[in-house]
Structure 1
Amino acid sequence: MLKLCGVQFLLVIHSAMCQYLGDLHVTGPLKDMNFSVPEGGGVRFIYQFTSEVPAVSFRVTGETDGIIDIVPRTGILYLNGSLDWETRPVHRLQVESLDQKGNIVKGPYTVTIYVEDINDNPPQFDQIKYTGVVRQNSRPGKPFMYVHATDRDDPTTPHAQLTYSILHHFPNPYAEMLFQINNVTGAISPSKMGSHYLDPQKQDTFTLVVTVKDMAGMTMNAFTSSADVIITVKESLWKAPPIIHIQENSTQVHPVNISQVQSNEPDVIYDLFEREKLRRLPFSVDQNGVIYVTEPLDREEKDTYDFFVVTKDKQGELVDKPLHVSVIVEDINDNPPVCQQPLTVIEVQENEGGGSNIGTLLATDMDEENTLNSRLQFKIASQVPDAPASNLFFIQQDTGVLHLTSRSLNKRIASNYSLKVLVTDAVFQTICDVQIHVIDINDQIPIFEISDYHHVNVAENIPVGTVILEIQATDRDEPATGSSYIIYQMKEGDPNNTFIIETDPETNRGFVKINKALDFEAAPVYNLVINATNPEPLVPGVQYNSSSLAIFKVFVSNVDEPPVFHKTVYNKEVSEDVPVNTLIITVEAYDPEGDTVRYSLEGDVRKWLRIDSTTGQVYTASTLDREQQEMYTVEVVASELSNAAQKSKTTLILHLSDVNDNPPHLAMDYPPFFCHPLSGGERAFIQAADADEQWYYPKFTFSLPDDMNTRNNWEISKVNGTHAYLSPKHVDFEEKVYNVPVIINDNGKPPLEMKVNLEVNICKCSSEKSCFIEVQRQHFWPSPGQAIGILIGVLLVIGLILGTVFFRMKHKQKNEKKRHQKDVRDKSELNRLA
């Protein structure tokens, strides 16, 4: 009875859905079929098989799981319960039709039902609680543990695509989390902040609440699960060693173990990385982290080494942050003293006093500075000749400074001495050679061959560096010494160093040269006194006298020179609205010879200026305009009244400052248009510009005049300082050109206003939202040139039409059929779209 009621219930469902089933084609003859049915959902209709005589009923067998059944009389395949993808994702059935006696008429046919998964299972972690250990200073992004979750839904759909995240972080002492999680793999690693701040001395345990969402975490309807992750922070094993000290030139058998490092991770590959590109790095590291020096080091070649120890995994990726290793090479005394010069030569006057400092022997040591290894000591080992005594010289033990002893030298006894100086450090010694030349005492003064060189005439424009006189003095002291070399100087008559004297070191001849430009007007005559001296001081009792002096005069002749301006460039800032005949600036020039100066202008291409030829006062000659030229440059010419060819020029630069003298205007490449018919909400950009200088940024105000016609049809809204929107206030516009008056104000002081008639085109538009053709403007008459163009265009169109007619007549019969077929297709398409 219950089964009959169920069948009757399904028949009622079937009867109610007949029209719907027919529309969706869910009935049909018996054949092999596939169906996709979402899981869950309860009792549902799947399909209705139609019977063919003599069949009167249907039967279903196979993987029905008691859920899938068929109404024998009607052939309705239905579900009497819910499918479950997780239990069975595919059901394979056999359906057959039977006659009145129960014999098979058709079939069995295979019916396959694919169960579609729905998101009905939340993800689950494989552990309730996770524990992990991380080392201090671990590399950011390097995973130290994983969490894992699964989802029973279909893995090929987003239902089982899982996303991990950290929901809570206890404690969280910083603005950023110290840990991060890969949202796909569940890998947990230190963040950049964590790599820097994790410290077991401050906090050795953290608890993370990790969540997992299905649906790839992309929807609010995703299922979520969570688990606790307990993380213990341990001290880092990966620490840089202290500074390593290695003594140079070691005799140990190399390589030598100098330090060891240990990674936080197992099974890493250790390697060295150079900070500086050396020819070779004399260090190595083995796979236990032991660092070796591979050869003896030389401090004098290189005294410090800096490199890094790195760890990599088998894929070559860095595991730990690189460790900095610093090595200092310690010095040993392995370098002898070195004489700075193969032979040190010193000159000493024969009357030099006892105890005098006569020179220094210089030596160096390549061992480390300011240590006992590089400390040098000096001692005289021998003196040749040893006359008149064997101890004429003394050397300071720690500085190498040489002195005379209490006796003076005598050139007649010995003119040269050779010293062997022993230079020692704590281990080595070196012999340095010193040669001492005994030179003549300066007991002779220079004497001029001519004491009066009379005079020299020179023009004031003579070039600097010209030799105007040669002079000669002689000295009977020993040649090629400081006692006989002569220095010439202007003793009197040249306070401004207008002249200079150079000496030929071979002949002691002097050359008097022009050192500065001459000026007849400033100094027409020079009365000069020259003295001759030696660089070496004279011996006591000998003095320079008049024999070491010479005199001569220099007469400077006048040369007509052009006027001279006080400035090379004149700059003046002027407001562009100054009245005509305003005094701008006064330029000044003088003539060195005292001639009267006349002024004129060159390069005044705009005729803006005039100059008073007598005073040099520059006036405005016409209205200035900054918008034409902001910086205006002319040349001012100053010429002698008596000789106009003698002239000079200077530059006058006017910097024009702006005033608000230009009203704003529209700055648009083409007038705005709106597509007809209007639909409402249209608006068009309008833009203004101003030739005046804009302070900081331009700012214009747009408005409409106060007339009813304009304000009823249009409105303006501000966009920014240079743009506004023009919008129609309704859609009842004709297809034509409208003149819309627009008022534009600038922000000058005082502001200027401009009223413009803006042409707005209401036109038919193409699919690209542009006008097909410009609407005919009212009261428009073509110009003669335009009329000729129109006439030619009309003739071309007529020719094209005649050619087309001729072509169609020739092919009329052939095209008749094609046009008929096209008409049929077009009519069919119109009926479909109607």
Structure 2
Amino acid sequence: MLCFFLLCCLSSATCSEALSRQRRSWIIDSFTIEEEHPGPFPYVLGKVNIERDYRVYFDLYGEGVDEEPRGVLSIHKDSGTIYVHKAVDYEERTMLKLQFEARTTDLSIDTKLGVEITIQDINDNPPHFQKDLYEISVKEEDVQGSHLLTVVASDRDQKGTANSTFHYEIKAVSPNTPDTEFVIEKTGAISFKGCLDHDAADMFTILVEAKDHGEVVKLSSSTTVVIHVQDGNNHLPSISGQTGSGKVKEGEIGFSPLRLHVTDKDTPHTPAWRARFTVHADEGGHFIIETDPDSNDGILKVVKALDFEEGAQRELSISVENELPYFSCQVKGKRSSGLWIVDTIRDSDPGAAQPHSVKVIINVEDTNDPPVFSVAVKEATVEENTPIGTWVEKVTAVDPDSSQARDFVYKVGNDPAGWVTVDPHTGDITTVKTPDRESSHVVNDVYTVLLHAVDKGEPPMTGTATLQIHVTDQNDNTPQPVETYLYVCMSDDPIATNITAFDLDENPFGGPFTFELLGDVRGKWKLNPSYGYTAGLVKEPSVYAGPHTVGVKISDTQGEFGVYNLSVTVCDCSVTGNCRTRRHSATRAASGAIGIVFASLVLLLCKTRCCYLSVVLLYSRRLKLMASGPCPALQLISCGPAIDFKLKWVSFF
């Protein structure tokens, strides 16, 4: 429908003036134009009539004339007839905004009007789906009424009209199975009634149509929905047979004595098909069963050693189920509306079928077991310095394979210091050396021995026990000074140096110690303090510089003592700082002298070769050897056919 509406009076005169003019009046008619008009073009849309007593020329401007969409409309300048030259599209533009002008013979504007032209919609667009193909996967155990997916369509025609209103409809389903019916709601949501059965159909192809409600013509489009049904566990697995010896040697682990075969009608290599086994009546947890990923067989393995003496046979029960829980669905009745009557069963429901199980017998073969000690770690206590032949402890073992009490012998396995021996028949342990707590093999007062019991089987088997001997201390060590060489500086006042002692024995056989000077020391040496772990040796001013020998007696808390002669050097510390520095300097001087002798020997040898050496004394007793002549300086000095020296820099102190 094409309409002209008077919006505003745009002439130079006011609207009231224009209306008061009796020489003219506008007659605006209503016109109708449909989008996508088939023509022929141009055709007359209508005519603008005006009562006037003078001549007026008409002009038309704006959308549809000189603005996009250009060339749709025109007006005859003299008659006011409006022509349509081509079709318009409602979906591109719903309205055209234009201006009419009336001019007098002198081309001056008589009147200017703004006009809006609306375009009538026709049903030229079918509903359009967002996708041409919808594809999903659903589980076989999904129950009826479950939402599967939603298809969405839209219509470009005028909103709120019959042309843009549509509905969804399922036009075809392939395959069309009797126990499954798909339903689509007004919203495009798709669900199903009945049961999904992967065996009956592993994929459904659904043709969905969206059809509008156009009054003249109804348009539609379609989309395809593909629904893949995943195989659920609606077939219980069963154990169909077994292979393997069914035998295992005692003490052996990692061995597989049996393989169980399974039958399952579900799709291979899916969770609904893969078997999961459980071992029952396995007291002690000796077995596990693993699933072969390719064949789905159950592989029984020994993970904890079996003991023949505890039973020659093991009777086990093994059950099988799937990784995916069991589910079944059967249609019992159909209703004309609403959901159907179905019967569903899950493995968790009361009365559901139990997993299939079988009983298997595993025979345990006897092997030679090692003797077993009654106590794996034996404790004993021995005082150090006990005489050879002292009884320490007794160990006892049994042989699980023998009815005889002593069908094996005892042996010493590891005895780091060779202290003990063991009676091969009784297990009595005695000393063959005197124990010493201060031995390097004693750790935290404990001496460790490994003992064996060896049977007479084929091959011989050995059991092992540990004997931990706690060695108690005796006062068998005298206190000793840490250093026997002491240094003290010359002084006009009494000056002291320290005497520090130690004792290998523990309390109460060690320190603190009592120190006592021996010999004629009056006016020369004294002790302050004389009790503790360190004593102070005080030099009197009368003691001259040089070496001295001082006798000292050091006693422990139990009265055990040692007598020692200490070498005490008295020196002038004002020159060297302290006596130790002076002693070190003397040592370096001796080294320098040796270096000079060595350098002279090198010079003598090199005279018979290709080069000469100059020995230069530098600074404080430091020598530098330099090569002159044809030999490269400070690199290689060849001093004879059998002697080569690499010499760069030699320092003597």
TM-score (norm 1): 0.37
Larger Rg: 2
TM-score (norm 2): 0.46
